Structure 1
Amino acid sequence: MTAVAAQHVGHDATGLRSVSISTRVIGCFASHEELGPTQVARELDIAKSTAHEMLVALATGGLLERAPRGRYRLSLQLFDYGQLVLDRLPIRRVARPELLALHRRVEETVQLGLPAGGRVVYVERFDCGSLPEEASVEWMRKVNGFASSSGRVLAAFDEDIAEATLALPRTRYTPRTITDTARLRQILAIARERGWVCTSEERAVGLTSMSAPVFAASGRVSAAVSIVGRTRALTGTRGEFMLRSLVVSAQRISGELAACGND
């Protein structure tokens, strides 16, 4: 290797290391509202000078913004990027008309959830406006899948998702939350047979949700459609009507994905 080539290799390695550190710095803000060089250096086990350089570079690039006392926080530019991700999700575009039709049919909150490493992130929602605040804040956030109908229906049809879901810590959100591994596996097996999942007051007292799977063109489960509402509104004859409507809508979205070859 020539001296010039070796120099290029060295520069490439240094550049890749800087990129790696930068992504880790951004990751630190997932659990901290504001951070300074000292905290970042301690979190990542890097030199304080390196942490300072990375923070300045990320702020210059618009991904962070300066806060008081020499600290930094995530910038709104990241929110803009997140919106672009949502807007460009093919499955969201395909599912949106059917989700809106289902929302109008059942007059309850309708959601589209995607798997995210044992969690669920809701990327589309048509809200009826009657849900309590604790349910509404889950919109566009990752939530543990084990206690949600969406998380369970995704896990029921994908073994990798199931194992990732069961590997996460399980919080007993209400007295009715099921956390036992054997019981959860039994619920997943029943869901595979039925083709849907219903959870009653496991995430929040007074709320029930029902979900059905959406399959990509390849046949793998790629999303979950769910209806969420007050328990009294999702039971009895009305609940049965909603469940039938839900399953039909999920099947229609799966058909649309297959027709356009979307995976």
Structure 2
Amino acid sequence: MNQSVKKALNLLNLFDEKNYELTLKEIADRANMPKPTAYRLLSALESMKYVYKLKDSEHDSRYRLGLKLLELGQLVSDQLEVRRIAFPYMEMLARDIQEAVHLVIVNHQEATYIEKVESHKAIRLYTRIGKNSPLYIGSGPKLLLAYLPEQEQETILNEADNRINRGNFKEELRRIRLEGYSYSIGEQDENTTGISYPIFDYRSRVIAALTVSGLSTYFEGENLTRIKVKTEETAAKISRKLGFRGHIQGVVD
């Protein structure tokens, strides 16, 4: 890790329930660094809203942790909450349709698989919890990308370069939003199909994708219809449990 970044992050660790407010001198002394160095690092943290400076006078300032940390903490809390709430529903869905079920979230312009329930079939797909994937490959990542703000979509698509047909892909994202689900064949693993539906939170934001995947030969005809219906219903149940009260595409309230 870059030493300046490490030193700046270590300054945040100086604050606790007994020291929620510290002066520049106290911070420099506890970090065992010169005051000018401490001030430079604190200024950088302040510009990113990780600390907040209270200026008592020209020569005396105190610092508190900034609201950006609260915002980030809420994001972590939301991720843990959706994983905890979704898991029993994922288990029921996996038993019902006999396919692997995944929970996928956006993580720094990538998709991360944060939970998984295996299929009981002899042939299983290899997808580990913690796996990262580009947001333009696979049904879960593409669904999450479709619900991101347009500016964020553009940034990610620019990085994809020639790996996608931009015009066709933007049309696919539009279709995903319109139809309320995403579908992929052989994008992450050969001869496999993935189907994903959005999970909404109480603020009506899509915070995760509920993804079902398995061998493409099982995703046909009446079985495909059944898988889609069951997955959509399960995603809706998880969303309701998270406090979502809006209308969900294809679900009768």
Q: Give the TM interval when normalised to the shorter protein.
A: 0.5 to 0.7
Is this contact kept in 2: 1:148–1:209, CA < 8 A?
Answer: yes
Q: CA deviation at 1:182?
A: 1.0
CA distance in 2, matches of 1:239, 1:157: 24
**Structure 1 residue aligned with 2:37:** 14
CA distance in 2, matches of 1:203, 1:170: 18
**Structure 1 residue aligned with 2:145:** 155
Q: CA deviation at 1:148?
A: 1.1
Task: Say whether 1:188 aligns with 2:178.
Answer: no
Deviation digits for residues 27-70 of structure 1 (CA, Å, limit 9, x no counterpart): xxxxxxxxxxxxxxxxxxxxxxxxxxxxxxxxxxxxxxxxxxxx
User: Normalized against structure 2, the TM-score is what?
Assistant: 0.64
CA distance in 1, matches of 2:118, 2:232: 19
Task: Say whether 1:99 aligns with 2:99.
Answer: no
Task: Determine what percentage of the aligned residue pairs are the same residue.
Answer: 22
Aligned amino acid, residue 141 of structure 1? K
Task: Say whether 1:236 aligns with 2:238.
Answer: no
**Structure 2 residue aligned with 1:227:** 212
Q: CA deviation at 1:163?
A: 3.0
Task: Say whether 1:136 aligns with 2:159.
Answer: no
Is this contact kept in 2: 1:154–1:223, CA < 8 A?
Answer: yes
Give the 3-state SS of the residue equivalent to 2:243 in structure 1: helix
User: Normalized against structure 1, the TM-score is what?
Assistant: 0.61
CA distance in 1, matches of 2:132, 2:180: 23
**Structure 1 residue aligned with 2:81:** 90
Higher helix share goes to which structure? Answer: 1
Give the direction of change, closer, same or farther, for the CA distance of 1:18–1:238 in structure 2 (3 Å limit): same
CA distance in 1, matches of 2:132, 2:177: 23
RMSD between aligned alpha carbons?
A: 3.1
Question: Number of matched residues?
Answer: 184
**What runs of 5+ residues in structure 1 fail to find an aligned partner?**
20-84, 173-178
**Structure 2 residue aligned with 1:123:** 114
Give the direction of change, closer, same or farther, for the CA distance of 1:145–1:259 in structure 2 (3 Å limit): closer
